Chains A and B, each alone.
Chain A
């Protein structure tokens, strides 16, 4: 046990509502939707007692745990409550999980982004559970008139071994809810974890497989209208005039309006390029979709139209000029003059759309004195700030309820759709649900920037790395991290960057910057290792050795031992180094979002084509909270990374996105996924870090390096299946 003070996040433990009631209805609806007679679910109690912001306990021992953070498919709605339940010491089968609403007084950082939910939540979730457990013990101590020190707990019961007595949390809940919050509580030692490190299945899985309303798009309120937006067809354009006479006369159409969603004071999440929009509002989705097509709009050029051709030229010109130097150790230019070998390569990647399967949508009911916003957003706190500004309301007038999200990948960090819904509802004076078509979603995105990076490395006669430099450009900003590997492993090192302005809206896309730069860096590393005549894993391990024993500089932002650890683990598990006829292998490793990942891709020849037979993956994310969920995230990140590196691109002509739907924008399909992914975790007991992103960045290099082995050609430009590359036929 570890004794900790409860004052961190103590505000979560203040009782903000009266003891009983509250969430009972939610509990019922959860149960009703899962009424399979074969399965045992937690029984709904007569009365609930709030223990703290995360926990309420019913008189029958059923426990509701509130999951504070938005659920975008990263499984925090399961894994965050698991941490609370662990410390509370209860049986998981008596747990009901509910999504908490936005409440900045009760909870910290209700945001889904950067794979940080678990890392940031770890202490407060443990403390919430441990505090609840302590209060149960204090209540039992009072009731039995024994010292707390003589009590223990197990599976939702307090035990007094000396008198052979036991009492359930349910029977103690009403008394516990009246107690002072303890000043100190004990958390478990890792060795005593019963739930953490196990396999707990997705708490919403049953609802998902039976088609229950869960997502923003499924949300409904009595009297609600459906709204859709019409945005300029190209970046750089704005509305000139429009004729809505035909649209307005169509059946079910209530109105066609213009909204402006530009808040006076922008939050970082307000990135949308189109703030003046036309909205069509009607009774049902299809009617509104049809009316949208009947609108006649004239657009005018506002800022210059951009083209992919120009983007490519600008990116390549940017790399011909000196960039802004953001790290320099030694003198890499001088070092390469004296070097035995110099290796140089250029890598690039296009803009990408997020393409969450659930298109953007939001419900809003804005009245004179309050705004009720419901829907899928990764940043509810920032959406509320912008909505307050836009609607001229105060914090207590704007409520945000988070629904489950049909994917996020960063797109729902930018809640313009929430503001649009609010603006439409305010103007219409009616509850509305804003729905994007796939075309709306894909053509007014907050895209992954387009990137290009030039690497140069030099080696001495013995194949030792003398220098490493990278110059990266991006539209609008570069993909480089100055202090990441191989910074610290080589005396002569330089990172330069160049940004190219654009009127296309861009933003975070799953593992921002890393999603491109990891692949470029780790592919280049493969080339350099080859030029050095060394095994690519051995070559990397030598560099980590240097960083462990005698690091260059002091600001390197990785732990070389943990980094080397995942490489060694994947080397051992994949039997790296043993020749397998007909199998071509590539390796890659990367550290981002506080977790370390190393991967080996095995490509197999099937006739003349190639198939990804297996991906081996070693991960160090500290303690694995929920193994099943972790494996699912890792598999998803790998398949996502392969898909986007191989197939996906978003191009522009006269400012207009050239891909509008899944017939033009290719996403990876079932038959193109690896046949198998096997994951191994480093066990080290370190506090857990996130997994929503880290498995994605390195995979494109493991794939490119394996493709090189199979074809003899390097793959520098994403998507690898594009015409610029040596064409390779993949099974699919």
Chain B
């Protein structure tokens, strides 16, 4: 066990955990930020997607020791009032079914739109390919991303 200081959603937290503990479990177990989901643990589903310095990453495969001074953002910190254009578009299109994958989808979409504010359909589906939705909400996800893009650009 070792002490780590990590910055999440603008706040610095001290945690005492094994150095190989994935950020996912630090968030969920230690910081009680359970919006970030566990789906596979091997970087294959995208449920655990968060932002590290603005880039979408898989928190299940990032050990806490590698975080150093990265600024991490989770679904809880994406916007103050849940009104990020991507979140609002998700509500407008009533995207979720079970909802479990959606935090990861939203985080991935938000990071993607920061880099490409006017994506084609192709670019959207390629960018979202790493995020599994077992309920099959892909069409709505893509529509919501279009809506969010039009508001963000």
Any A CB within 8 A of the CB of B102: yes
A73 x B97 contact (CB < 8 A): yes
Contact B131 A637, beta carbon cutoff 8 Å: no
Could you tell me the distance in whole angstroms from the C-beta of B26 to the nearest C-beta in chain A?
A: 8
Determine whether the beta carbon of A217 is less than 8 Å from that of B135: no
- A670/B81 contact (C-beta < 8 A), A405-B98, A438-B39 known: no
> CB < 8 Å: which of B21, B33, B83, B136 contacts A640?
B136
Interface status of B7 (Cβ within 8 A of chain A): no
Could you mark each residue 65-97 of chain B with 1 if its beta carbon is under 8 Å from any beta carbon of chain A, else 0?
000000000111000011100010011001111
B137 touches A358 (CB 8 A): no
Which residues from chain B contact A677 at a C-beta distance below 8 Å? 139
Known: A210-B35, A210-B76. A669 touches B94 (CB 8 A): no
Contacts of B42 in A (CB 8 A): 438, 661-663
Q: Mark A207-244, 1 if CB is under 8 A from B, else 0.
A: 01111111101101000001000000000000000000
Inter-chain CB contacts under 8 Å: number: 198
Question: Which residues of A163-204 are within 8 A (CB) of B?
Answer: 199, 201-202, 204
User: For the complex, is B45 an interface residue (Cβ under 8 Å from A)?
Assistant: yes
Q: Which label, helix, strand, loop or mixed, suits the secondary structure of the B interface? A: loop
Indicate whether A285 sits within 8 Å of B132 (C-beta atoms), given known contacts A73-B98, A213-B34, A670-B125.
no
Please pick, from B35, B40, B129, the residue contacting A671 in the complex, using a CB distance under 8 A: B129
Instruction: Give A663-702 as 1s and 0s: 1 = Cβ < 8 Å from B's Cβ atoms.
Output: 1000111110111110000000000000000000000000
Residues of A within 8 A of B135 (CB): 73, 357, 407, 636, 640
Question: Is the CB of A383 closer than 8 A to any CB of chain B?
Answer: no
Is A670's CB under 8 angstroms from B131's CB?
A: yes
Residues of B within 8 A of A290 (CB): 18
Interface size grouping (class) on chain A: 35 or more
Contacts of B35 in A (CB 8 A): 210-213
| Contact call B83/A36, Cβ cutoff below 8 A | yes
The answer to whether B103 has its CB under 8 Å from any CB of chain A is yes
Q: Which of A24-32, A335-343, A365-373, A627-635 contacts B (4 or more CB under 8 A)?
A: A627-635
CA–CA, A37 to B79, complex, Å?
Answer: 13
Q: Does B41 contact A (CB under 8 A)?
A: yes
In the assembled complex, the Cα of A632 lies from the Cα of B30 at a distance in Å of 35
Would you give the shortest CB distance from B13 to chain A, in whole angstroms?
15
User: Does B62 make an interface contact (CB < 8 A)?
Assistant: no
B137 near A251 with CB under 8 A, answer no
Q: Are A357 and B136 CB-contacts (below 8 A) given A206-B91, A662-B45, A671-B126?
A: no
Contacts of A667 in B (CB 8 A): 132, 134
What is the CB-to-nearest-CB distance from A530 to chain B, in angstroms, rounded to a whole number?
30
Q: Report how far A475 CA is from B85 CA in the complex, Å.
A: 49
The interface size bin for chain B is 35 or more
For B103, the chain A residues whose CB sits under 8 A away are 208-209, 211
Given A639-B139, A673-B136: A407 and B98 within 8 A (CB)?
yes
Which listed residue, A36, A435, A635, A663, touches B139 by the CB 8 Å rule? A635
Find out whether the CB atom of A211 lies under 8 angstroms from the CB atom of B25. Answer: no
Query: B-facing mask of A72-104, CB < 8 A → 1, else 0?
Result: 111100000000000000000000000000000
Known: A438-B40, A438-B41. A209 touches B91 (CB 8 A): yes
| Shortest Cβ gap from A700 to chain B (Å) | 14
Residues of A within 8 A of B36 (CB): 211
Closest to B91 in A: A205
Q: A217-B34, A284-B25 in contact; A643/B128 too (CB < 8 A)?
A: no
Q: How far, in angstroms, from A38 to B82 measured CA to CA in the complex? A: 10
Q: Is the CB of A358 within 8 A of B83?
A: no
**Quick one: closest A residue to B30, CB to CB?**
A284
Which single residue of chain A is at the shortest CB-CB distance from B35?
A211
> In the complex, what distance in Å separates the CA atom of A633 from the CA atom of B141?
14
Q: Tell whether, in the assembled complex, residue B91 and residue A636 are in contact, meaning their CB atoms are under 8 Å apart.
A: no
Chain B residues positioned under 8 Å from A409 (CB to CB): 134
In the bound complex, residues from chain B placing their C-beta under 8 Å from that of A674 are: 139
Q: Indicate which residue in B40, B87, B100, B139 contacts A406 across the interface (CB closer than 8 Å).
A: B100
Cβ-defined contact, A72 with B98, below 8 A: yes
Q: Does A437 contact B (CB under 8 A)?
A: yes
How far apart sit A38 and B79, CA to CA, in the bound complex (Å)?
13
Most buried by B among A209, A251, A632: A209
CA distance A643 to B47 in the complex (A): 19
Cβ-defined contact, A357 with B98, below 8 A: yes
- Complex: how many Å from CA A409 to CA B98? 11
- B44 A661 Cβ-Cβ under 8 A: yes
The verdict on A215 contacting B100 (CB below 8 Å), with A290-B18, A661-B42, A676-B139 known, is yes
Distance between A405 CB and nearest chain B CB, rounded to angstroms: 6
When the two chains form their complex, are residues A206 and B102 in contact, meaning their CB atoms are under 8 A apart?
Answer: no
Q: Is B146 an interface residue (CB 8 A)?
A: no
A342 to B41, CA, bound (A): 52
Which residues of the partner chain A approach B25 to less than 8 Å between Cβ atoms? 284-286
CB-based nearest A residue for B96? A208
Residues of A close to B151: CB separation below 8 A: none
**Binary contact readout B113-153 vs A (1 if CB under 8 angstroms, 0 otherwise):** 00000000100111011011111111111100000000000
Q: In the bound complex, how far is the Cα of B153 from the Cα of A28, in angstroms?
A: 37
Asked if B111 is at the interface of the complex by the 8 Å CB criterion, the answer is no
Q: Which of B30, B44, B136 contacts A636 (CB 8 A)?
A: B136
| Measured CA separation A675–B138 after assembly (Å) | 9
Task: From A38, A211, A220, A636, give the contact of B137 (CB < 8 A).
Answer: A636
- Whether the pair A37, B81 counts as a contact (CB closer than 8 A) is yes
The answer to the question of B106 belonging to the interface, with a C-beta cut-off of 8 Å to chain A, is yes
**A269 near B: Cβ within 8 Å?**
no
CA distance A409 to B34 in the complex (A): 23
Give the docked Cα–Cα distance between A499 and B35 (Å): 44
- Shortest Cβ distance from residue A665 to the other chain B in the assembled complex, whole angstroms: 9
Give A30-61 as 1s and 0s: 1 = Cβ < 8 Å from B's Cβ atoms: 00000111100000000000000000000000
Closest Cβ neighbor of B39 among chain A residues:
A357
Taking A286-B21, A662-B42 as contacts, is the C-beta distance between A355 and B141 under 8 angstroms? Answer: no
> Is A287 interfacial (CB 8 A cutoff)?
yes
- Are A632 and B97 touching (Cβ within 8 A)? yes
Asked, given contacts A211-B75, A671-B125, whether A661 binds B22 with beta carbons under 8 Å apart, the answer is: no
Does the CB pair A635–B133 fall under 8 Å? no
Find chain B residues with CB under 8 A from A670 CB. 124-125, 128-129, 131, 133, 138, 141-142
Given contacts A209-B102, A211-B35, A406-B37, contact A357 B45 (CB under 8 A): yes
Residues of A within 8 A of B1 (CB): 251
A407 near B100 with CB under 8 A, answer yes
Given A209-B91, A406-B98, A635-B139, A286 and B18 contact (CB-CB distance below 8 Å): yes
Are the C-beta atoms of B81 and A643 separated by less than 8 Å? no
Please give me the residue from chain B that is nearest to A673 by CB atom.
B138
Whether the Cβ atoms of B100 and A284 lie closer than 8 Å is no
Q: Closest 4 interchain pairs by CB?
A: A211-B35, A73-B98, A406-B100, A639-B136
Other than A73-B98, A661-B41, give 4 A-B pairs with Cβ distance below 8 A.
A287-B18, A405-B98, A668-B138, A671-B126
The 10 listed contacts between A and B (C-beta, < 8 Å) are A74-B97, A209-B91, A215-B99, A217-B34, A290-B18, A633-B97, A661-B44, A663-B42, A667-B134, A670-B133
